[in-house]
Structure 1
Amino acid sequence: MKRSLLTAALPLALLAAACSDGPDEAAAPEPAETMMPVEPDGGIGDGAGPPGPVTAETIPAAFRGVWDYVEGSCDPASDLRVEIGPETMQFYESFGEVTRIEVAGPQDIVVSLAMEGEGETWEMVRRFTLSDDGRRLTPAAVGDDQFEPMPLKKCE
């Protein structure tokens, strides 16, 4: 009887020994934690890069309306007056149809326009920044465009 127990226990002991890594298992160093790489452009390492700009279908309501130079009269004949609609901008002697709107923040948008006026057509991009109280709008040039920003007031 002793012999049969010993014979049965021996294969189990050999099997257990074969599955273990032996005495060196405790001495093996833990693998270092691998950090997720960050890409130079701010991406998280998945190749996607940072999130792109937020776009809108129409110009946000806070930017719409009739605007004129801060010292202007808001009269339709004012040469710095602009009427901003959901998808268009009417200037003194030109008209722009919105082709793209990037929303940089609640008070900051970049508008791309297909312009026409005085028999010419051209593309124009402008940044519009709204004051905290929503009563001033400052257009600014984007890219290489030469444009002197002139603050506008909201006309009643």
Structure 2
Amino acid sequence: MNRTLFPATLPLVLLLAACSGGSDDAGEPEPAETMMPVEPDGGIGDGAGPPGPVVAETIPAAFRGVWDYVEGSCDPASDLRVEIGPKTMQFYESHGDVTGVEVGSPRDIVVSLAMEGEGETWDMARKFTLTDGGRTLTSAPVGEEQFEPMPLKKCE
């Protein structure tokens, strides 16, 4: 008996042709799949970059409390003492109402304040960074204002 292999192998040939990528219905070669680029910062290649800081209405709880210079006494009369609440900051001779909080990470924030003290008003921004497991808070200038960053300890 003379059998032809063609009918038995036809499904296998069609399956292989479908998987090869070969050409489209018009006989044109199909374009190769292009990998999506990845940006150096880990972004997906769309140019958007990493997410920016989160804007909050209040100062995060980890930053709140009474703080004083690392060598200070935590006494209310200490001129480097600051009391940080959810929406206010009380300094030695001035008071600030929070107008904005940017949370860069759980340990970095930038607080914008509407300040008032000694008969004057002004706007101010400060960067605050927590270190030592939340026991040290360092204040640094934002913008054109210049001063040496100051480490503060948490008062009991």
TM-score by length of 2: 0.73
Aligned ranges 1:1-156 → 2 under 5 Å: 21=26, 25=27, 28-34=28-34, 36=36, 44-45=45-46, 50-156=50-156
Query: How much has 1:119 moved relative to structure 2?
Result: 1.1
**Would the alpha carbon gap of residues 40 and 133 (structure 1) be closer, same or farther in structure 2, given more than 3 Å must change?**
closer
Q: How many residue pairs were aligned?
A: 131
Q: Contact 2:36 / 2:45 at 8 angstroms: preserved in 1? A: yes
Partner amino acid, structure 2, of 1:58 = T
1:7 aligned residue: none
Query: How much has 1:32 moved relative to structure 2?
Result: 3.8
**Would the alpha carbon gap of residues 50 and 83 (structure 1) be closer, same or farther in structure 2, given more than 3 Å must change?**
same
- Asked which structure has the greater CA Rg, the reply is 1
Q: For 1:74-124, what per-residue CA distance to the aligned partner results, in whole angstroms no more than 9, with x for missing partners?
A: 111111000000100000011000000111111111101011111111111
SS at match of 1:138: strand
Q: Contact 2:102 / 2:109 at 8 angstroms: preserved in 1? A: yes
SS at match of 2:62: helix
Partner amino acid, structure 1, of 2:113 = L
Query: How much has 1:68 moved relative to structure 2?
Result: 0.5
Partner amino acid, structure 2, of 1:138 = T
Which moved further from structure 2: 48-57 or 102-111?
Answer: 48-57
Partner amino acid, structure 2, of 1:149 = P
Distance 1:39 1:153 in 2: 39
Distance 1:35 1:145 in 2: 46
1:8 aligned residue: none
Query: How much has 1:48 moved relative to structure 2?
Result: 5.9
**Would the alpha carbon gap of residues 124 and 133 (structure 1) be closer, same or farther in structure 2, given more than 3 Å must change?**
same
Distance 1:39 1:127 in 2: 28
Partner amino acid, structure 2, of 1:69 = Y
Distance 2:68 2:76 in 1: 9
Distance 1:135 1:51 in 2: 28
